Amino acid sequence: MDNLSRKDQLWLWLNGVIGHHVLLFEQLLSTYNEVEEIYMLAQKRKISMFLRWGEAFAERICAAANETQIECQINWLKTNKASILPLYSSKYPELLKEINHPPSLLYVKGKLDASPKLPIAIIGMRKSTPYGEAIALHLGAELTKSGATIISGLARGIDSLAAKGALSVEAALFPTVAVLGCGIEIIYPSSNARLYYEIIERGAVVSEFLPGTRPYRENFPIRNRVISGLSRGVVIVEAASRSGTTITANHALDQNRDVFAVPGRITDESSAGPNLMIQQGEAKPIFCAADILCEYGLTAGPAKPSARPDLTGLTQAQRLVVEQLTSGEKSADELCENLSLPIAEVNSTLTSLQFSGIIKQLPGRVFGL
Amino acid sequence: MLSCIQSYGLNGISGFAVQVQVDIANGLPCYETVGLPDAAVRESRERVRSAIKNSGFAFPVCRITVNLAPADMRKEGSVYDLPIAIGLLEAAGQLSPKCADKMVFLGELGLDGSVRAIDGVLPMAIDAFSSGYETIVLPEGNAEEAAYITGAKILPARTLKQVVECLRNNGEFEPYPNKVWDTTEIIHSTDFSEIRGQQGAKRAAEIAVAGGHNLLLIGTPGSGKTMLARSIPSILPELTFKEALEITKIHSVVGATRESGGIIRERPFRSPHHGASAAALIGGGQQALPGEISLAHFGVLFLDEFPEFRKDVLEALRQPLEDGVVTITRASANATYPADFMLVAAMNPCPCGNYGSRISQCRCTPFQIQRYQSRISAPLLDRVDLHVEMTEVGYSDISSKAAGETSLKIRARVNSARQVQRVRYEDVGIFFNAQLPNRLIKTYCALDSASEAMLRQAFTALKLSARAYHRILKVARTIADLEGEEKISSAHIAEAIQYRSLDSNAIGGMHG
């Protein structure tokens, strides 16, 4: 990042001055050919602005056309250990270049592969259910094991779990990319701070928004087109019927990407999105990672989600509890009732099973595998 | 002429002796009350005057001075009407001198000469009796509660005339029959057998009662938190006479014994609304009256919608929870009340109440849920040993499930566990596991290697906090006591770990 070429610097400058404004950037470039030229004219205050964008922009560009402004932006990159990828760069992701109006400039933290082997986006709702979380985690890990790179939005719920799944594969060289809807140095939601740093460590966090941009809600649909743009396929794990996730899915269809959907129960609001896409023939229903991988000529390990847990070495009571839970989540009271065991024994059995990682506790003292 | 009549005043839940001195002298007719009387005492003049006249006696037309000694303590209320009237009649020569010596008079007068019930009779009567006054004249309406003072001769006064006639008759009267504390079974309004399902919560309640722990119930609306809390008094051990007297004293001060008539025989269950002020909960007001926590003494204080209470109100609970007593200081009064209660708190898991429900959808954001749960401060949570999440009960559960164990059965187990603890802590001066100070936990909650390993695992796997450590040990100790075992085993630890919902980041499963 130390050796930004003059062209890089000027791109950084122009992008920074006009803000996140892809269309204006494109228009300026088509009018003036080179950013260098824009800079020179701006210094002489000779940028005439097309009526559509107004004089204010021209004024702003002219006022900012000095070396201090450039310095300032370069310094910011240095202090924040971030780098940039201008659209013309050879390191700019190949797939992203294909979409309509790709971001003129990407801010990057970590290392971004220009053409990863198989970039797959896993997206879904923030208020995920345990079912969706388990699937996202599983798919994230299984796809990464077969060499895929998981693209997600670092949101709560499905996005986070997918990234966590990808990071759990120690051997992966380039497990995951997170695309932010705010400035690249802003961690949103703040509860994902640990995940954010882990992703920077082993993958990349990218954003097209200027440093310091808050996570305004209108940013996210703009960001979503980059998530689908970076990937070859988009997996929808859980989503409401009209939501940010379905927006991303529509972007994916527009960008000619494959769309996969994880089916859920037809009564679940959280599965309405993917179920609907399957019904309308927009998405391929998938049951395991292999269903995705086979589309790209890859094979997966034998793992299937929710395989029966290993019962060896368990006590009689533990075995009974696990068998109860294979048919669905149950509360402690239901277990107590169904097994006719005293509550004291059920409680201590649950603790030991929790410790061995076979079951987990869900809100409301409900337990599941 | 001068006369002296003995009466009592109230300070907190103890009485103090007040001598009512009446002097009648020649001069212009006037009536003066001295000895720091409050408005109600000063107004007694009008009541006494009318009561004497309307009872057929003559009100002396002289210079009358009434002094309430000791003169430097504030006197409140209408309790001195009767002693003043008797003193006046004696000073005026309508009663023979010294006829009312060795008697204590308490009571308010009506204009017609009737004697009306007052608040705080029991503590005053107990202190009068223990300072050597055997004969106590008090309003008939309060006779029931005072009747439990064995050996005291209670004269239930209906009218001033009746009292005067008795005194003229050499003070002979038929005393109110003393009552004996009988331990016949009290029928509780709710019984544990009426709660269908909810095995986990019932078990937690049993453990909490057995070890004197405080309890926090977390559950969706309609999961039966309130019903469970209301049933808890039915598994608390029976009141002893001493406890009942102490409870009645406190309730007598606020006048809560008048309707119930006499001594309180059931453990109190207090459930103040969440709009309650700190003064309402802890005690206060001009006269430093007891608050809900003292009224819940030896019983259950149930705080429904726990996070909805004002923060300063909740924080004020911390000190009494620790000490079992509360001292209330006001400009004009200062009182110490016992407040040894079991705290049962109930809360929804989130603002909308449906988080974790399998029937309805929760509409809160994770941030809202976290903020809601963090309204209860860690130091306060620290004093609540058991947190239980309750699962909602469906219709089929209510209609189909068999009745559970009766409260009587559970109470038998509680009693034996409490007995074990009493014996064990005889030398330490505490009664329950919940009171164990941290320095003694190592001595009384020794662990074998298997339990030690289980606990260590809990710390890493469940991300428990350090303060949860002691709590789990204390609860495990109680579980072992309930099973009648001397050593804490790993099964006890494992069960105790299930009652720690709020110790980790948030309610189970939040930390994905």
Of B401, B497, B509, the CB nearest to A363: B509
Model confidence pLDDT, tens digit, residues A260-287:
999 999 988 899 999 999 999 999 999 9
Calculate mean pLDDT across residues A97-126. 92
- Which residue has 């929790």 as its token pair? A354
Contact B64, B22 (CB under 8 A): yes
Q: Do A332 and B200 touch (CB under 8 A)?
A: yes
| B388 contacts chain A (CB < 8 A) | yes
Where residue A46 falls among pLDDT bands split at 50, 70, 90? confident
Calculate mean pLDDT across residues B338-360. 88
Pairing status of strand A366-368 against strand A330-331: antiparallel
Q: Do A347 and B203 touch (CB under 8 A)?
A: yes
What per-residue confidence (pLDDT) applies to B180? Answer: 81
| B509 contacts chain A (CB < 8 A) | yes
| Number of domains into which chain B is organized | 2
Of B391, B490, B495, the CB nearest to A366: B391
- Of all helices (H) and strands (E), which one includes residue B17? strand B14-25
pTM flag (> 0.90): no
Q: What is the mean pLDDT of chain A?
A: 88
Q: Could you give the percent of chain B with pLDDT greater than 90?
A: 45
Task: Show Cβ contacts of residue A173 under 8 Å, excluding neighbours closer than 6 positions.
Answer: none
Could you tell me if B55 and B160 lie in one domain? yes
Rounded Cα–Cα distance for residues A352 and A303 (Å): 25
Name every residue in A having a CB less than 8 A away from some CB of B: 127, 130, 133, 156, 160-161, 189, 191, 269, 329, 331-334, 336-337, 343-352, 354-355, 357, 360-366
Could you tell me if B236 and B149 lie in one domain? no
How far is the alpha carbon of A245 from chain B, nearest alpha carbon, in Å? 17
Rounded Cα–Cα distance for residues A259 and B29 (Å): 105
What per-residue confidence (pLDDT) applies to A274? Answer: 95
How far is the alpha carbon of B251 from chain A, nearest alpha carbon, in Å? 38
Q: Is residue A308 helix, strand or coil?
A: coil
Q: Do B366 and A191 touch (CB under 8 A)?
A: yes
Q: Which of A207-221, A342-356, B31-45 has the lowest mean pLDDT?
A: A342-356
Model confidence pLDDT, tens digit, residues A309-343:
677 778 888 888 888 888 778 888 888 888 888 88
Task: Show Cβ contacts of residue A145 under 8 Å, excluding neighbours closer than 6 positions.
Answer: A169, A171, A172, A300, A301
Model confidence pLDDT, tens digit, residues B134-185:
999 999 988 888 888 888 999 999 999 999 999 998 877 888 888 887 766 6
The CATH number corresponding to A316-368 among 3.30.530.20, 1.10.10.10, 3.40.50.970, 1.10.3720.10 equals 1.10.10.10
Where residue B366 falls among pLDDT bands split at 50, 70, 90? confident
Q: Which burial class, exposed, middle or buried, applies to B405 when counting CB atoms under 10 A from its CB (0-12, 13-18, 19+)?
A: middle
What per-residue confidence (pLDDT) applies to B185? Answer: 63
For the cut 70, the answer to whether the pLDDT of residue B511 exceeds it is no
| B361 contacts chain A (CB < 8 A) | yes
Q: Tell me the Ramachandran region of residue A312: left when phi exceeds 0, alpha when psi lies from -120 to 50, beta otherwise.
A: beta
Rounded Cα–Cα distance for residues A88 and A143 (Å): 30
Contact A128, A119 (CB under 8 A): no
Could you tell me if B149 and B241 lie in one domain? no
Q: Do B512 and A343 touch (CB under 8 A)?
A: no
Among chain B residues, CA nearest to A128: B512
Calculate mean pLDDT across residues B41-47. 93
Residue spans per domain, chain A: 1-79, 118-296, 316-368
Model confidence pLDDT, tens digit, residues B106-145:
999 999 999 999 988 989 999 999 999 999 999 998 888 8
DSSP assignment letter at B238: P
**CATH number of the domain where residue B392 is located:** 3.40.50.300
Model confidence pLDDT, tens digit, residues B2-17:
999 999 998 888 899 9
Could you tell me if B19 and B99 lie in one domain? yes
Residue A120 β-bridge partners: A150, A233
How far is the alpha carbon of B199 from chain A, nearest alpha carbon, in Å? 6
How far is the alpha carbon of B482 from chain A, nearest alpha carbon, in Å? 11
- The residue segments making up the domain with residue B259 are 192-497
Of A133, A349, A354, the CB nearest to B461: A354
Q: Do B391 and A365 touch (CB under 8 A)?
A: yes
Q: Is residue B29 part of a domain?
A: yes
What are φ and ψ of residue B340, in 5° steps?
Answer: -100, 90
Task: Name every chain A residue with its beta carbon within 8 A of the beta carbon of B349.
Answer: 363-364
Q: Do A333 and B198 touch (CB under 8 A)?
A: yes
Q: What is the mean pLDDT of chain B?
A: 87
For the cut 70, the answer to whether the pLDDT of residue A301 exceeds it is no
| B390 contacts chain A (CB < 8 A) | yes
Task: Name every chain B residue with its beta carbon within 8 A of the beta carbon of A346.
Answer: 199-200
Q: Is residue B508 part of a domain?
A: no
Task: Name every chain A residue with its beta carbon within 8 A of the beta carbon of B461.
Answer: 354-355, 357
Task: Show Cβ contacts of residue A14 under 8 Å, excluding neighbours closer than 6 positions.
Answer: A25, A28, A35, A38, A39, A61
User: Dihedral angle at the C-alpha atoms of A276, A280, A282, A288, nearest 10 degrees?
Assistant: 60
Q: Do A336 and B202 touch (CB under 8 A)?
A: no
Q: Do A348 and B492 touch (CB under 8 A)?
A: yes
Instruction: Give the DSSP per-residue string, B356-408.
Output: T-SSS-----HHHHHHHHTTS-HHHHTT--EEEEE----HHHHHHSPP---HH
Calculate mean pLDDT across residues A195-222. 92
Q: Residue A189: is the preceding peptide bond cis (ω within 30°)?
A: yes
Of B198, B494, B509, the CB nearest to A352: B494
| B462 contacts chain A (CB < 8 A) | yes
**CATH number of the domain where residue B92 is located:** 3.30.230.10
Any idea what the Cα angle at residue A315 is, between residues A313 and A316, rounded to 5°?
A: 130
Q: Do B357 and A361 touch (CB under 8 A)?
A: no
Task: Name every chain B residue with its beta carbon within 8 A of the beta carbon of A133.
Answer: 512
Calculate mean pLDDT across residues A111-135. 90
Could you tell me if B315 and B267 lie in one domain? yes
Task: Show Cβ contacts of residue A296 under 8 Å, excluding neighbours closer than 6 positions.
Answer: A118, A232, A233
Q: Show the DSSP H helices in B22-79 as ranges.
A: 39-42, 44-54
Could you tell me if B273 and B352 lie in one domain? yes
Size (chain A), residues: 369
Model confidence pLDDT, tens digit, residues B190-206:
888 888 878 889 999 99
Question: Domain A118-296's class?
Answer: alpha beta
Q: For B212-370, where are the E strands, in sequence order?
A: 215-219, 269-270, 283-284, 289-290, 300-303, 325-329, 334-338, 342-347
Could you tell me if B246 and B151 lie in one domain? no
Q: What is the Rg, in whole angstroms, of the alpha carbon atoms belonging to chain B?
A: 28
Model confidence pLDDT, tens digit, residues A154-172:
999 999 999 999 999 998 8
Rounded Cα–Cα distance for residues A350 and B24 (Å): 82
How far is the alpha carbon of A188 from chain B, nearest alpha carbon, in Å? 12
DSSP assignment letter at B20: E
For the cut 70, the answer to whether the pLDDT of residue B261 exceeds it is no
Q: Residue B233: is the preceding peptide bond cis (ω within 30°)?
A: no
Could you tell me if B277 and B391 lie in one domain? yes
Where residue B303 falls among pLDDT bands split at 50, 70, 90? very high
